[in-house]
Amino acid sequence: IFAINQHRLGEATELPSIPRVIQASEAVLFTLNPWNSPKTLTRVWCLWEFLQAVKSEKKVLPTMPQREESNFVQTMRQDPSMIEGILTTIDVLHANATVIKDKEVIFEEIDGSLGVDEMNSLVKQNLKLCLQGVAIDRCFGGNDLPSVDVF
């Protein structure tokens, strides 16, 4: 999300802006790099944004670098159960933020709304659907999901 300055979270307008920005969007891209251990799953900001997209009923479009996509397709053809392994690593309690205050404020917001367990459940459920969609699309045709190149 490029509309939010994550380093000014302490200002009262920053965190509440995220849901409004996502609601105004058609979809949210969620980067999976590396695909089997995405860094985005270790960042509290990324999980929070993912959750906001789910709550706003927005499409979450997984994207990955082309080399990761090739590895993903190869693995899915050999062992589709790998998706479950990735999902077991998701736990917002272990997610980090560069600025400790950001993590504290986001956790307060999570605790005051649906709670950590429900958030983990929603993220896992929706990420599983995303990964299954990519697997089906990539393994059996179609090429209409976005992919990115690593800078």
Residues 22-39: tens digit of each pLDDT: 999 899 888 889 888 888
| Residues in a beta bridge with 118 | none
Among 26, 38, 34, 7, which residue's Cα sits nearest to residue 103?
Answer: 7
The share of the chain scoring above pLDDT 90, in percent, equals 4
Buried b (16+ CB within 10 A) or exposed e, 88-116: eebbbeebebeeeebbebbbeebeeeeee
- Give the pLDDT of residue 81: 80
Mean pLDDT, the chain, whole residue set: 79
**Average pLDDT, integer, range 67-80:** 84
* pLDDT over 90 (residue 117): yes
Running DSSP on this structure, what letter comes out for residue 96? Answer: B
pLDDT at position 90 over 70: yes
Three-state secondary structure call for residue 4: coil
Would you state the pLDDT for residue 71? 87
Q: Which has more confidence, 142 or 55? A: 55
End-to-end Cα, the chain, rounded Å: 18
